[in-house]
Structure 1
Amino acid sequence: MGDLSDELHRLDLDGARVVVLVPDGTRSIPLGRLFAEVHDALAARVASLDVLIALGTHPPMSPAAIERRFDLPAGGWAARYPGVAVHNHAWHDPATFADLGEVPASQVAAASAGLLREPVRVRVNRLVAEADACLVLGPVFPHESVGFSGGDKYFFPGVSGPEVIDAFHWLGALIGTMDIIGRPGVTPVRAVIQAAAERIPARRLAVAVVVSPAGDEVLGTYVGTTAEAWAAAAEHSARVHVRYVDRPYRRVVSVMPAMYDDVWTAAKGMYKVEPIVADGGEVIVVAPHVSTFSVTHDAMIRRVGYHCRDYLLAHADRFADVPRAVLAHSIHGRGAGTYLDGVERCRVGVTLATAIAPEDCAAVNLGWTDPSTLDLAALAADEDTLVVPKAGEQLYRLAS
């Protein structure tokens, strides 16, 4: 970790066609300042510079939202970054993708310790496949499916086809959130991601960023290959973004910032605190601004509901046509549990304090409370309750 500008100037990118992959608005990072450094270090010496927003299956960002994300005034992109095109990953459009073959079933089985035994088709955004070099510019946090986010995860699932998106999320759900979130090193899910990423012909580089818990201060930038930069940043993130508490709590109240605009993203308020909730306890996800389960997958989530892993495995035939990324979200949002003799027992309760109606919450197997009635100060004064402001990025664990 050194001066970012110096590190960028040392990258051998003269005359290269470069694509910079960046996060959407659901990740905390001072992207405007950091991208300005990347642009100013590279623009004069590369053949072309494009920006690709790694949406996964999140909704596209509008031009106005993109300018805000990059700290630009309205209409300011062309003046600040002439000749630089910015693209949303159009995950829903088949023409978006280049087909890079497949990771064979034997390799997937080896990487996943036998949990997944099927080939995975590798399709990625054409901009990535046609570039000389790709530079991932994004933060690293504990992640429910892969251990720590960042690195090659920006390709898969960030700008990939649905095949890797489904395999990625489903494998993480099979392992179990509490067994993988914040786990250091190359997890089985990351091993599958790396196997897919090796099929990208472009050089894969990264500026892996560690931000303060508030998300407004850069604590470290790591530049190198995606694997090298990610590994260093993940080690740093483990020291910054994992908070240890001495005992479990009967109730944890996760107050979600506005950057999470549906339950699909706001569910981080559940699984980032699940490890410290006592058996039979409750997580309350407070997000009065949220009015839908998912901007993209709402109908599917309403059909499936939120259930533990064993329930969905027992009903695999019933949900065979549902994308496995949706099934994985269901598991992540509901947490650990069992399904025996036709009875589902989840370890903790999950209650939404959102703009979603109580009957809709009940229909998907979640609790409901009116956010306007919550007294956060009174809840914080309760010794059996932990209130987490700006929940979603820090992972909470028991100290022993």
Structure 2
Amino acid sequence: MRISLTKDIFGKVEVPEGRLAGAYGPRRPERPGLEDGDLRDRIHNPIGTPPLREMARGARRVLIVTDDITRQTPLYRVLPLILEELAEAGVPESGVRFLIGLGTHRGMTEEEIAVKFGEAIPKRFPVVNHAWDDPSALVSMGRSGLGFEVMINRLALETDLLIGVGSIIPHATAGFSGGGKSIMPGICGEATIEATHWAALGYEMSEILGNFDNKVREAAVQVCRKAGLRFIVNTVMCEGGRVYGLVAGDVEEAHRAGVRLSLEVYGVPVAGTADVVIAEAYPTDIDLRQAIKAVCSADIVCRDGGVVILPAECREGVSPQFPDFSRYGFREPEALYRAVEAGEFRQKLLAYTLVAIGRIISRRVKGMLVSPHIGEAEAARMGFLWAPTLQAAVDRALEMCGPRSRAMVLREAGEILPLVPASVP
């Protein structure tokens, strides 16, 4: 049977007759995406808060924290509607600014900002990349519920009204993106971001990924309330860049409602598990550090001793921000974990990803990378097997797993949550 992925750079792949366990991806809702009028209505009628125009009355300074280019949120559609509400409340344009919640991602370029925000907004308002690595841009908010110090962008505390904008998808360290993630880790300092991710290693992946009620998310909400995040606007995206849903209002109540919508798109029932899982990295495939999110979803459905194939463009390579990423790789996760706990290795954010993914592809399954921008030697340093084409990867993986092995396809794997029947071992 011939199969293809969402991103067509890998071509069609032939899976032998009877050896395809299923092909899955984000659900394709038949209804059209929400129009601007629908989005406006949902912002007008928030969940758990008064309308934004009421909350903004009397505010002279408003900070809107957004997500970055690694997310699909159509800011160019959503932000003008928020600005309408602020104008209705009498907030002066000179008092509105935007802060891009990068976490530790690279800063967005002017060209990228113009595309994501629309050309008009950057011309009218200040749009600033979060300076996660600049101590002078950060201020302490004390300790989180998980015990670590929270350093946050000082702009969040120098405003009368703080708003968070993002999208909701399943997420390995917070349960779901959106909600409180705009603030923690979105606009926190490096040490806080590291500690947030490291805390997630204390739980099984199944306790966090796709689970709204988890300790990491609860700690983020606590920080958000202390920082004064009073209103969120979160979208749920679906095929073709359509907006499937939008929620607005309280950081917890609105987010919970948005998670239910997100599961209608990204919660994907699967028939069972498979020996070989083709986990498409798109759309989180700008570099390998982002692309390996797809491995987390594949981990749910890949049998012990199986192979996870990762087709990922990685046009920026392994991780231009973290050169040590390829130096350490995923080969020895427990040794790296012990080194961090002993204080011998201090790059916790880097170590988190290497340990979390390493525990999957070095201990339980094998990982095989297919990328036009990462060669065999570099893949091997990272702990991956490598194949020049997706077809070659599938052929090799099925051979490795034996004549009765079967393959499953997860399209856009980094943004879906496979739902395996409880009866499947």
Q: Do they superpose with TM above 0.5?
A: yes
Q: 1:235 to 1:77 in 2, by over 3 A?
A: closer
Shift of 1:35: 1.3
Percent of aligned positions with the same letter in both sequences? 26
CA RMSD of aligned residues (A): 2.8
Q: After alignment, is 232-241 or 121-130 more displaced?
A: 232-241
For 1:334, which of 332, 340, 358 is the aligned residue?
358
Q: Which residue of 2 aligns with 1:363?
A: 381
Distance of 1:71 and 1:121 partners within structure 2: 36
Q: For 1:310-325, what aligned pairs fall within 5 Å after superposition?
A: 310-316=334-340, 320-325=344-349
Q: For 1:1-400, what aligned pairs fall within 5 Å after superposition?
A: 3-7=41-45, 9-16=52-59, 17-43=61-87, 45-47=90-92, 48-72=95-119, 76-77=120-121, 82=124, 84-103=125-144, 107-108=145-146, 119-185=147-213, 187-200=214-227, 202-212=228-238, 214=239, 216-257=241-282, 260-299=285-324, 301-307=325-331, 310-316=334-340, 320-336=344-360, 346-354=363-371, 355-371=373-389, 374=392, 384-400=406-422
Q: 1:268 to 1:71 in 2, by over 3 A?
A: same
Shift of 1:375: 8.4
SS at match of 2:413: coil
**Which protein, 1 or 2, shows the higher relative CO under an 8 Å CA cutoff with sep ≥ 6?**
2
Contact 1:273 1:395 in 2 (8 A): no
Contact 2:386 2:393 in 1 (8 A): no
SS at match of 2:62: strand
Q: 1:236 to 1:130 in 2, by over 3 A?
A: same
Q: Which residue of 1 aligns with 2:34?
A: none
Structure 2 residues without counterparts, runs of 5 or longer: 1-38, 46-50, 399-403
Q: How many residues align?
A: 369
Shift of 1:259: 5.1
Distance of 2:377 and 2:396 partners within structure 1: 27
Shift of 1:289: 4.0
Q: Which amino acid aligns with 1:321?
A: F
Structure 1 residues without counterparts, runs of 5 or longer: 109-118, 338-344
Q: Which residue of 2 aligns with 1:116?
A: none
SS at match of 1:43: helix
SS at match of 1:193: helix
Distance of 1:290 and 1:78 partners within structure 2: 26
Contact 1:379 1:387 in 2 (8 A): no
Q: 1:239 to 1:11 in 2, by over 3 A?
A: farther
Shift of 1:360: 1.7
Q: Which residue of 1 aligns with 2:11?
A: none
Q: Which amino acid aligns with 1:15?
A: G
Distance of 2:410 and 2:390 partners within structure 1: 17
Q: Which amino acid aligns with 1:67?
A: A
Q: 1:155 to 1:347 in 2, by over 3 A?
A: same
